[in-house]
Structure 1
Amino acid sequence: MGKVDQSQVGVFVSYVNLLKHSVWTWVEGDLFIPEDWFNEVHAQLRKDLGIPDDLRFKTKIEIGLESLNRVIANGVPFEVICFDGLYGRSEWLRSQIQQSNHIYMAEIPCNTNVYLSKPQLGVPEIVQGKRGRHPKRLKVLLGQQPIKVRDLLNSGDLKWLRVRVRNSERGEINDAFAMQRVWLRYEDKVVEEWLIIRKESAKKHSYALCNASPDTAIQKLAWWKCQRYFIERANQDAKSEIGWDEFQAQKYRAWQHHLSLTTLACWFVNATVNLF
């Protein structure tokens, strides 16, 4: 039999710096509240839990961007923004970060469509004698077709380079990477980006898009692609070592307070470790 139980979902921003010290820690976060909670049926429950009256529903992607903007506004220095496939597949999020002149490394699903040459956008010409409405929307002309990123593995055109990823308990991890410039359609415009493919095992590959400049070093792209490992480490440490997973209160303010204390504790642990 199924069971319905209470739970909570948060959206978090982690800071990772491995250049001078080994630092991975939470720096921002917010509570995700499902859309159903904002209807009249849940009005009393929102009041009982102290959810602010002016709070409105936001998707995880919207919460993530707002949290990221607060980090930027507070002057936290960084080189690249990395996020997983839930956020990476969002063209809107990638466009917002591009417009803010920051570099992203966005994980994407294996069925993401890309073009291997720049597609030409335009309104198709009116065919004389053809009935029906005249075309008005932009379309890809000249019969150009996209390809799914997973199908590039069988193309034989990829050039693989083995790059040292990091040290582990079992020794150095060295994986094969392939990088290629590709084009994506964002509504009414075409954007050129890096496609990074990482071969993690014989049957497992991961994919990411990056808006870094065309002259970015291949080794740097591979390094950026691997930094999400330490983001996951920050999540694990917050839950296991700091006590985030022991939160049992229900009030909205209590959640925010627990997040603040957890984030401060994460910073303290990282600072203390790097002193010795």
Structure 2
Amino acid sequence: MSEVVDTDSQALHHLLTEAGVDWDGLSGEVARQADALLGGDQAALILDESAFVKKGKASAGVARMWNGRLGKVDNSQVGVFSALCRNQRVTLLDSRLYLPKTWVEDAQRCRRAHIPEEARQLRSKCDLALELVDTARQHSVRFGYVAVDGGYGKDPVFLRRLAARSLCFVADVHKDQRIWLEDPAPCQPVTSGRGRPAKKRRTDRPSLTVAEWAARQPASAWKVVKLRQGEKGTLKAEYLHARVWVWDGKEETARHWHLLVRRECGAGTPSHYVLSNADADASTTRLARMQGCRFFIEHAFREAKSELAMADYQVRRWDAWHRHMALVRIAMLFLLKERLAIQDDVPMLSLADLVLAIDQLLPRPEPTPERIARIIQQRHRRRQKALESCLRRELEI
């Protein structure tokens, strides 16, 4: 950025670390404006995580963790994000940086990364996701349901905490998720009167996994659903749908939820297993389209990283990471507004198209020899500073 506008990298770094900006208020305003554009009963609040490859050990929260984009464990930071989606339009709402246990237990490391005291506690990604849900509601963001992938849907406590908030959800689950085809009616076993009474509830009714249930269904049970119109035509998939009972082995009663199984047309094996606490009369088509909206947060991540420099930050501090993500959300919201304003005239306009147009239209400084030399000198100073920092860390080790 410092090579385009008339400033230097230090001024931009100051914006992310020291500038007196009400970042919380700014995030709230982004959420409120996003709600005005997309909010409503048909909107989805989508929760997902995204990883950022990082070198070294100094960046807040960095550790060897699963990086979905790379498909392997690597040195990364992981953020949990929320997005608001309706009618194939999406914008990022909020984000939280995940802190692994190794960071929480290292107070000195946290201080160096400017991690506030209240954030130095072990919180799972599901905890952070629920915090994003609560924050969206505090900002009066309107949505009809919450959508999550299997990384969150596999946690029964997370799903029950959503249900306890009277929120509808569609959640991918793993293929070994156990279900009952009739109410398991859990109860405490009758004891003989000797020894301690049993505290753990049990059921004598058989259960099976969602994968086992799907494998037992006849070919005629699969239903083709038209999900949406895509760039390559109508997107369709095949689905199984049933009402099942789910019990975590602890609750007094089981939950009566929807089970949805998806496979791509022509595929032999399912690609998604889904649980939902939607109304009992929710149709297969409705549930399928609700589950399918998760595509759009993944699409938002791709656009943000390729067009809005979401992953191109050079900061290590906790606060700077969150501020950088706030700027990304502001940029995405602005571009969403522009697309909606002219969608009737240019329905195929993409975020990348708008970024290209703005890049071409904005005035740029004249590429004089002096300016080019200054840019190269700035790059060299940054490289030298990075090298000196690495050498200092090696000496400390």
Q: Same fold (TM over 0.5)?
A: yes
Match of 1:255 among 321, 346, 357: 321
Match of 2:202 among 136, 139, 148: 139
Please give the alpha-carbon distance, in whole angstroms, between the structure 1 residues aligned to 2:111 and 2:336. Answer: 37
| Amino acid aligned to 2:214 | L
- Superposition deviation, residue 90 in structure 1: 1.1
- Superposition deviation, residue 105 in structure 1: 0.3
For residues 29-79 of structure 1, the C-alpha deviation after alignment (integer angstroms, 9 at most, x for no partner) is 11101111122xx32221121111232221111011001110011111111
1:1-276 pair list within 5 angstroms: 5-6=56-57, 7-18=76-87, 22-39=88-105, 42-55=106-119, 56-126=121-191, 134-140=197-203, 143-156=204-217, 159-186=221-248, 187-188=250-251, 189-200=253-264, 201-276=267-342
- Superposition deviation, residue 153 in structure 1: 2.2
Which region of structure 1 is more displaced relative to structure 2, 110-119 or 151-160?
151-160
Provide structure 1 residue ranges, at least 5 long, that are not aligned to the other structure. none
| Amino acid aligned to 2:216 | S
Please give the alpha-carbon distance, in whole angstroms, between the structure 1 residues aligned to 2:217 and 2:322. Answer: 51
- Superposition deviation, residue 132 in structure 1: 6.4
Structure 1 residue matching 2:161: 3-state secondary structure: helix
Please give the alpha-carbon distance, in whole angstroms, between the structure 2 residues aligned to 1:47 and 1:127. Answer: 57
For residues 5-44 of structure 1, the C-alpha deviation after alignment (integer angstroms, 9 at most, x for no partner) is 45311000011110xxx421110111101111122xx322
Q: CA RMSD in A?
A: 1.9
Structure 2 residue matching 1:245: 3-state secondary structure: coil
Structure 2 residue matching 1:231: 3-state secondary structure: helix
| Amino acid aligned to 1:179 | H
- Identify which of structures 1 and 2 has the higher relative contact order when contacts are C-alpha pairs closer than 8 Å and 6+ apart: 1
Which region of structure 1 is more displaced relative to structure 2, 28-37 or 153-162?
153-162
Please give the alpha-carbon distance, in whole angstroms, between the structure 1 residues aligned to 2:258 and 2:284. Answer: 10
- Superposition deviation, residue 203 in structure 1: 2.6
Cα distance 1:27–1:235, how it changes in 2: closer, same or farther (>3 A)? same
Structure 1 residue matching 2:273: 3-state secondary structure: strand
TM superposition score normalised by structure 2: 0.64
- Superposition deviation, residue 220 in structure 1: 0.7
| Amino acid aligned to 2:173 | I
Please give the alpha-carbon distance, in whole angstroms, between the structure 1 residues aligned to 2:92 and 2:277. Answer: 24
| Amino acid aligned to 2:309 | G
Please give the alpha-carbon distance, in whole angstroms, between the structure 1 residues aligned to 2:191 and 2:108. Answer: 58
Alignment partner, residue 351 of structure 2: none
Please give the alpha-carbon distance, in whole angstroms, between the structure 2 residues aligned to 1:127 and 1:48. Answer: 60
Alignment partner, residue 364 of structure 2: none
| Amino acid aligned to 1:50 | H
| Amino acid aligned to 1:275 | A
- Superposition deviation, residue 241 in structure 1: 1.3
Please give the alpha-carbon distance, in whole angstroms, between the structure 1 residues aligned to 2:107 and 2:158. Answer: 30
Provide structure 2 residue ranges, at least 5 long, that are not aligned to the other structure. 1-53, 58-75, 343-397
- Superposition deviation, residue 134 in structure 1: 4.6
For residues 212-267 of structure 1, the C-alpha deviation after alignment (integer angstroms, 9 at most, x for no partner) is 11111221111101111111111111211111110121011111110110111111
Structure 1 or 2: larger strand share? Answer: 1
Please give the alpha-carbon distance, in whole angstroms, between the structure 2 residues aligned to 1:102 and 1:135. Answer: 33
Structure 1 or 2: larger helix share? Answer: 2
Structure 2 residue matching 1:93: 3-state secondary structure: helix
Structure 2 residue matching 1:244: 3-state secondary structure: coil
TM superposition score normalised by structure 1: 0.90
Cα distance 1:134–1:49, how it changes in 2: closer, same or farther (>3 A)? closer
